[in-house]
Chain A
Amino acid sequence: QVQLQESGPGLVKPSQTLSLTCTVSGGSISSGDYYWSWIRQPPGKGLEWIGYIYYSGDTYYSPSLKSRITMSMHTSKNQFSLRLTSVSAADTAVYYCARGVDSYGYPYDYWGQGTLVTVSS
């Protein structure tokens, strides 16, 4: 059974960097059959796609966040991570990591439970 678990600080000060890690169990992030994403959801609002990283290390970021995002993989730990710099209150959200299937439809079939990150001084 595949499981994803987000971890990281729940409170970040404005202008600082948000760092989150997703630990994957029950499957390898090095598999070429999947890609690995971050998606966020501001309180009471809809889902916003942040970006993805492939096992090869290739990345694609949302244009609206691209200048502030870095995603990376840590294959020895079966983890991937998100860094978002220069945060503001607008970055307050529940952050989800998710596994995308690299085949027809490219859907997200497994999600982490989500972690709330609040940006506040």
Chain B
Amino acid sequence: DIQMTQSPSSLSASVGDRVTITCRASQSISGYLNWYQQKPGKAPKLLIYAASILQSAVPSRFSGSGSETDFTLTVSGLQPEDFATYYCQQSYRTPYTFGQGTNLEIK
């Protein structure tokens, strides 16, 4: 299985900050990397797919980059509704594994 490792596991930030979350794959996954946002008690929501393509209706303050093994999710200008847990997921090879999650909290 391809292992996905996110860092940091948790992050404290303030409204208006710019934050970056990193996801590293245990082997090359080309650009087959997706990012999801999950709020407590809710299903995950797709933010970014294929490493850098913004899902429809997702605010442009979210952006993704990377390829092969190293990927980042950046949120520019945090809004109160952005405080949540973020997961990366590889869709290069089954089983489609997820990172362990990054909990973004309000400072």
Contact = CB atoms under 8 A, between A and B. Distances in A.
Nearest to B96: A49
Contacts, number: 69
Contact of A62 (B51, B53, B95): B95
A48 B50 CA distance: 20
Interface residues of B, number: 27
Contact of B49 (A62, A98, A107, A114): A107
A46 B101 contact: yes
A17 to B, nearest CB: 22
A40 to B, nearest CB: 11
Contacts of B50: 104-105, 107
Contact of A46 (B34, B42, B91, B99): B99
Contact of A112 (B33, B43, B51, B97): B43
